[in-house]
Amino acid sequence: SPPASRERWLRRVTFDLTGLPPSQAELDAFLADDSRGAFERVVDRLLDSPRFGERMAVPWLDLARYADSFGYQADVDSRTWPYRDWVIEALNRNLPFDRFLTEQLAGDLLPDATRRQKLATAFNRLHRMTNEGGSIAEEFRQEGVADRVHTLGTAFLGLTMECARCHDHKYDPISMEDYYSMASFFNSIDEFGMIMGGSGRGEILPQPTLLLPTPEQERELDRHREAAEAAERNLQDYISGADKAFTEWLAGEPGFAEADLVARIDFEKGDDGRIVNSINPEQVVKLAGNKLGAGRTGSALVADGDSLTRLPDYGLKHADQPFSISLWLKPGEPYPRAVIFSNTSSFDHPFSGYELLLKEGHLHWNLARELPGCGASVSTAGTLPVGQWTHITVTNDGSRRAAGLRIYLNGEEADTVVQSDNLTRDYRVGKGLTLGARGRDFGIKDGVIDEVVVHRRAITPLEARALHEGRTPTLATAARLELSDYFFSAIDPRGRELRDQLAVARAAYRDVENGVPEIVTMRETEEPRPTFILERGDYKSPGRPVKRRTPDWLPPFPEGEPLNRLGFARWLTRPDHPLTARVTINRVWQEIFGRGLVATADNFGLQGAQPTHPDLLDWLARDFVDHGWDLKRSIKQMVLSSTYRQDSRADEALRERDPDNELLARGPARRLTAEMLRDSALAHGGLLVEEVGGPPVYPYQAPGSMWKALNNFLPEYKQDKGDGLYRRSLYTFWRRTTTPPNMMVLDATTREACTVQRQSTNTP
């Protein structure tokens, strides 16, 4: 075809590079510029525009299955928009594509990884997740791992990897072993597999996560962290140097005092028939389905395994608040898992708060935002006898570290094993302490609890032994070290004052931290999680184990690279890798010309389309790699080519011979995407607000709440006012189960899975 008119070329290239129409001023300036290089200057201007990153981010967000909620039943908010902004910024600064890919697959594993590089790994966590009661965590964890494999297969290899999840691929050389060996690279993060139930709309995100403080929050966190560390040093320095105060106390015939005691419940009914907290008789204990039976002395709580006997929270709402809980326990059976007590906000796995569990005889003392990704947890090395009374005391010193957790059995500190030590953020407790069970969990059926005692302090070994013995200790016979611990913790005014100062400093840090947003990311476990071939893809049918490796029919794994996601990303971007650059360039060509050189952009396998111009695809891919994976350079080549600048009009004979323009005998003509149609209308109307990035917005929606009508678990749609109504469409809140209506009607994808080729809309 002859060249398109200058007006049509400018309109075409402006939409293709910015997603918006040219302004009248831009059109006038271009038509008036008949000098050499006028076309190139337009392209350079468009590539340098912040609109470029916004335009190219949209197909990438389709590929990355980006949404602002997790999907499934409750469709909980995911708060992942910082990742969307990372993509826009990376595209605008023309981050080399090999780095663009590497940071998203493995930014957390780069040497001295920055927060931005770790943020990029949210790419791997944008799959759907559920918090529906009755769901099985391991099943959905495996679904997440599988989604990562399917996405990398589609996005970077152009292969239908999902076909090999249940059996060897029927057409391409992908075996089940290839599939699960690649899955093993993405199987080793501390994730539970589900979203926390009962935690509000995404208030607690599934671990692991990354905190994203603003610069001001960063400064405040540093200031309060230093203050807390200084307060901790002051306390330790004082204790180390205050031997005189301790000696004087010893010489004065010291007595024993129960400091910071807030509850003592012996389950004996008073004259009025009530069971009360003897420290505060206004606090009444309601058995709520559990019964009273024979206790160690008198009556005790006999648990039915389902009913919750609820106590107050005693003001213990945060992980940095020291406290202790003591009780007598007689297990009714060797429970695989049973809740002794808890104060957690959620009623389904995973749980946030604190809990004491009995698992196959071992006590597990847990503080958790969400286990395993964010918690401090220890368990006893030994087991408890069934059918016998054991006195248990558990303490938390407020440090949010596993080293600050203690378990005492019959007055003696027990040997413990650290299960988790990464409580990087405060937990969220429920309405109070519950005994014997927890909603939708296993309780201590036929177990008996007696003499519950709560302190708002981490009590000392001397006090733990006194609670076990049931009598005031004789201080004259106690060991000096135990007496010292007790004195500075419970008696000494200056020691207690310094502890209060430490508590205030920790609370100040926590208050700032609680306002810091976070995002789901990747964080590798210390040891790789075992990966198995799942028979027929069933999480319940693990077969033989597999090791991390890449398919042997592709280039070998690079020598000297770590056998992890970082090494995998560098394998993908090897200069001689036959797929990554070709698949990427083909997708770019599709964005510019409307159809890829391989029409099936998601399938370069035997069932995919043959390339119409294989030599051209090879040359473009090789040139892309040889010039540093420079995306803007490759796009510039395409839009300045005579092929792109052709007129899109053609006579009837040519259209009949080549309806899809496979021969590239005319210029590209394609329908605008949903985002381009809406943004074009806003731009032509003078309404478009050109602010880059930020939280999602809620523009006009048809009357009535589409969200609520489609899913009663969703909140009402609250429409924005002012600028939020007129932002670019990629900033619209994208609810995964209900695609924004003004995008849905124009055939945008649902983003439930990786999509590299949108359906062309007929709606306009």
Instruction: Tell me the DSSP string of 573-617.
Output: T-TT-SSHHHHHHHHHHHHHHSS-SSS-TT--STTSPPPSSHHHH
pLDDT for res 684: 96
pLDDT for res 761: 84
Q: Note the pLDDT tens digit of each residue in 165-215.
A: 999 999 999 999 999 999 999 999 999 999 987 656 768 999 999 999 999
Round to whole Å and give the CA distance between 459 and 589: 68
Across residues 214-235, what is the average pLDDT? 97
555-to-74, 575, 576 alpha-carbon distances in Å: 43, 10, 8
> For residue 547, is pLDDT > 60?
yes
Round to whole Å and give the CA distance between 586 and 582: 6
Per-residue confidence at 511, pLDDT binned at 50, 70, 90?
very high
pLDDT for res 198: 63
Q: Is the bond preceding residue 254 a cis peptide, omega within 30 degrees?
A: no
350-to-250, 520, 753 alpha-carbon distances in Å: 48, 16, 25
Kind plus residue range of the DSSP H or E element containing 182: helix 176-183
Round to whole Å and give the CA distance between 460 and 443: 29
Cβ-contact 420, 376 below 8 angstroms = yes
**Following CA atoms 43, 82, 420, 481 in sequence, which dihedral angle do they give, to the nearest 10 degrees?**
120
pLDDT for res 705: 65
- Does residue 158 sit in helix, strand or coil? coil
pLDDT for res 35: 93
Cβ-contact 734, 68 below 8 angstroms = yes
For the chain, what is the radius of gyration of the CA atoms?
32
Residue 332's contacts (CB-CB under 8 Å, 6 or more residues apart) are 303, 386, 387, 444, 445, 446, 447, 448
Burial 179-218 (b: 16+ CB within 10 A, else e): bbbbbbbbbbbbbbbbbbbbbeebebbbbbbbebbeeebe
pLDDT for res 707: 83
> For residue 764, is pLDDT > 80?
no
Mean pLDDT value across the chain? 95
pLDDT for res 271: 87
Can you read off the two tokens belonging to residue 334? 């060797």
Round to whole Å and give the CA distance between 711 and 132: 13
Residue 571's contacts (CB-CB under 8 Å, 6 or more residues apart) are 550, 555, 557, 558, 561, 577
Round to whole Å and give the CA distance between 120 and 85: 10
CA angle 715, 694, 422 (to 5 degrees): 80
pLDDT for res 312: 94
Cβ-contact 436, 447 below 8 angstroms = yes
Helices (H), 477-524: 480-486, 493-513
pLDDT for res 519: 97
pLDDT for res 51: 98
Across residues 700-717, what is the average pLDDT? 82
CA angle 189, 563, 623 (to 5 degrees): 110
Q: Note the pLDDT tens digit of each residue in 709-760.
A: 878 888 889 999 999 999 999 999 999 998 898 899 899 999 999 999 998 8
Q: What is the DSSP letter of 163?
A: G
Kind plus residue range of the DSSP H or E element containing 355: strand 353-359
Across residues 315-333, what is the average pLDDT? 97
Neighbours of 112 (CB within 10 A): 5
Cβ-contact 201, 713 below 8 angstroms = no
Round to whole Å and give the CA distance between 623 and 633: 10
pLDDT for res 202: 67
Residue with tokens 């008996």: 448
> For residue 143, is pLDDT > 80?
yes
Q: Note the pLDDT tens digit of each residue in 402-414.
A: 999 999 999 999 9
> For residue 257, is pLDDT > 70?
yes
3-state per-residue secondary structure call for 525-550: CCCCCCEEEEHHHCCCCEEEEECCCC
Round to whole Å and give the CA distance between 461 and 516: 37
Cβ-contact 328, 390 below 8 angstroms = yes
387-to-446, 448, 566 alpha-carbon distances in Å: 10, 9, 52
pLDDT for res 442: 94
Across residues 681-692, what is the average pLDDT? 96
Q: Is the bond preceding residue 350 a cis peptide, omega within 30 degrees?
A: yes
Return the half-sphere exposure (C-beta side, CA atoms, 13 A cut-off) of residue 679.
25
Q: Note the pLDDT tens digit of each residue in 336-354.
A: 999 999 999 987 788 999 9
Tell me which residue of 752, 761, 743 sits closest to 700, measured CA to CA: 743
Residue 485's contacts (CB-CB under 8 Å, 6 or more residues apart) are 460, 461, 462
pLDDT for res 348: 78
pLDDT for res 1: 77
Tell me which residue of 669, 635, 641 sits closest to 8, measured CA to CA: 669
> For residue 480, is pLDDT > 80?
yes
278-to-185, 268, 715 alpha-carbon distances in Å: 56, 10, 44
Neighbours of 82 (CB within 10 A): 18
Between 150 and 273, the more confident residue is 150
pTM for the structure as a whole? 0.94
Burial 346-379 (b: 16+ CB within 10 A, else e): bbbbbbbbbbbbbeeebbbbbbbbbbbbbbbbbb
Judged by average pLDDT, the poorest of 124-128, 376-380, 702-706 is 702-706
pLDDT for res 200: 62
Round to whole Å and give the CA distance between 191 and 209: 10
- Does residue 137 sit in helix, strand or coil? helix
